[in-house]
Amino acid sequence: MRVVNGVVVAPLDVGPTVVTRAIRTTTLPRWGAQPPSRPPADYSSMTGPRHQEPPFTEDQGLNKKIVLWHGDISILEVEAITNTTNESLDEQNPISDRIFARAGSALKEEIFIDVKECRTGDVKVTSGHELPARYIIHTVGPKYSAKYHTAAETTLHMCYRNVLHKARELGVQSLALCLVHSVKKNYPADLGAHIALRTVRRFLERYGASLHTLVICGDGHQELSLIEALLPLYFPRNEAEERASRWRLPTDIGGPTGEPHLPDRQIRIIDNPQHTVMDADDDSIDVEGLSAAFGQMQGDLDKQRLLGEQRPQFDPIAEIMAREIEHQERYERLLRRAKTEDLTEVSGIGCLYQSGVDRLGRPVVIFVGKWFPFSNINLDKALLYLIALLDPIVKGDYVIAYFHTLTSNANYPSFSWLKEVYSVLPYKYKKNLKAFYIVHPTIWTKMMTWWFTTFMAPAIKQKVHNLPGVEYLYSVMSRDQLEIPAYITEYDMTINGLHYFQPDTTNT
């Protein structure tokens, strides 16, 4: 192992002659401690800097966290490493090959049994098994197409961003980040490097305290040399590098989290684009499918630039992806709060809980309307409790049974709050909801349900079923799987008879 221009270089082969002992990050030189290999060029005599002020200022605290590593990511002794792969997590590339070779057969078994797949732009976590690392964060980078460059850039940003936030969620202090963009997927190395570095910089500006060490790993000399050349622009070590970045950084330095800036648009997309996304498995986006759908409107931007044509004033796929990213970021923030805040004041009410499964094995979520004190409850915490309870359930098919029995005006949630809740919940909530049963509905309930599902929640309109009594639920679930308050059964017997004393003869 040697250091060349501030980059730690290690053997890349996995042969028996190569020393494979773990490399401790405490022995690796930090970016902030490495002097520049050459003085930056003097741009003061040039006119027209791209930025009036340096977009990224010198921050030695952040510089001390960065390490450049040219070698095998699988031998680094960090808490988490990154693996770039395909959606079935079996892509053969140098990084994945070394990780799987050293982790042992247990990694393949965990992926086959538990993980199974990972969508483009998303992340999945597995144990490190026989690696020095405790976790492996797998992510799937996008294929690059000049025609749909906006989608590819946004998705690559999401790869890096999701890896960093997953590391923060896991509570790890040291992370080895491989380059997700690759020549194999036709991704331009310089464009991918800019997206990676600015996403890392923005993350550390916000959450720097969560990471002590971030190792940027390169598998080839050329790609890591590019990272080394661009790193002073995003992590300047002195005033000269900071000043030079005004000329060298591209005009587009991304948004608050490093995401690509989106062009101005002259069309309006519907308030909830999730209704137009078909056959999605979760709240992520099928980038290539959406790109193809809007290809005719997007146009070939590179060709337009060459021909001198005016840049399009709208990008529908970028609009949809921007809204999806905004929805997902908000949901992730709420989910993190839901996992950390004390929600006992809401959970203790008992108006929302899981009660067994239906006859198809799908979890049944019970909501008791009479016990929901809308006018006398912390609505923020009510939303957090809803997310905390449902997030692990909605990953697969599920059903909801809402009991409107003996509710009063004090129990009715406002339409504005219902709209806010519906807009916050990702697409998987609507897609995986297979039935919404309303037991003991009133005329008011039926009217309001029709209005809400027609104008605000059309995605679930066909899934809503009004049931006059509890016994009608027994066609879809067994009696022993339904746990409801006694007052509901007592009320039901007064209007529907003693059906509860009849044996359950429905086949299970």
Query: CATH 3.40.50.1260: does it fit domain 25-32+55-262?
Result: no
Mean of all residue pLDDT scores within the chain: 81
Q: Which residues pair with 126 in a beta bridge?
A: 136
Q: Which two tokens stand for residue 75?
A: 């031998």
Say what the pLDDT of residue 8 is. Answer: 52
Question: Does the pLDDT of residue 134 top 50, yes or no?
Answer: yes
Q: With contact defined as beta carbons under 8 Å apart, do 80 and 167 qualify? A: yes
Listed by start position, the domains of the chain span: 25-32+55-262, 344-501
Helices 415-424, 316-340: crossing angle, 10 deg rounding: 100
Question: Does the pLDDT of residue 503 top 50, yes or no?
Answer: no
Q: What percent of the chain has pLDDT over 70?
A: 79
Confidence band (pLDDT; 50, 70, 90) for 312? very low
- Sequence-separated (6 or more) residues with CB below 8 Å from residue 483: 353, 355, 356, 366
Chain segment 331-367, per-residue pLDDT in tens: 888 999 988 888 888 888 889 999 888 888 899 999 9
Rounded CA-CA distance 160/139 in Å is 8
Question: Does the pLDDT of residue 373 top 60, yes or no?
Answer: yes
Q: What is the mean pLDDT of residues 225-253?
A: 89
Rounded CA-CA distance 487/485 in Å is 6
Chain segment 51-96, per-residue pLDDT in tens: 889 999 999 999 999 999 888 899 999 999 999 999 989 888 889 9
Give the strand pairing for 352-357 and 363-368: antiparallel
Q: With contact defined as beta carbons under 8 Å apart, do 135 and 79 qualify? A: yes
Q: What percent of the chain has pLDDT over 90?
A: 35
Segment of 190-194, 276-280, 367-371, 419-423 carrying the highest mean pLDDT: 367-371
Which residue from 314, 316, 312, 313 is spatially nearest to 290, judged by alpha carbons?
316
Helices 149-170, 189-207: crossing angle, 10 deg rounding: 40
Query: To which residue do tokens 């080394």 refer?
Result: 228
Q: What is the mean pLDDT of residues 409-416?
A: 82
Segment of 7-21, 218-232, 449-463, 493-507 carrying the highest mean pLDDT: 449-463
Q: What is the mean pLDDT of residues 479-486?
A: 88
Query: CATH 3.30.300.30: does it fit domain 344-501?
Result: no
Lowest mean pLDDT among 40-49, 113-122, 135-144, 477-486: 40-49
Q: What is the mean pLDDT of residues 169-189?
A: 88
Q: Which residues pair with 24 in a beta bridge?
A: 77
Question: Does the pLDDT of residue 428 top 80, yes or no?
Answer: yes
Torsion (CA) 125, 208, 341, 402 in degrees, nearest 10:
-50
Q: What are phi and psi of 484, to 5 degrees?
A: -135, 160
Which residue from 225, 168, 223 is spatially nearest to 200, judged by alpha carbons?
168
Say what the pLDDT of residue 221 is. Answer: 65
Chain segment 258-295, per-residue pLDDT in tens: 888 765 443 333 444 444 433 434 444 444 344 434 44
Q: How far does CA 361 lie from the centroid of its chain?
A: 28
Question: Does the pLDDT of residue 398 top 90, yes or no?
Answer: yes
Question: Does the pLDDT of residue 187 top 60, yes or no?
Answer: yes
Q: Which residues pair with 84 in a beta bridge?
A: 139
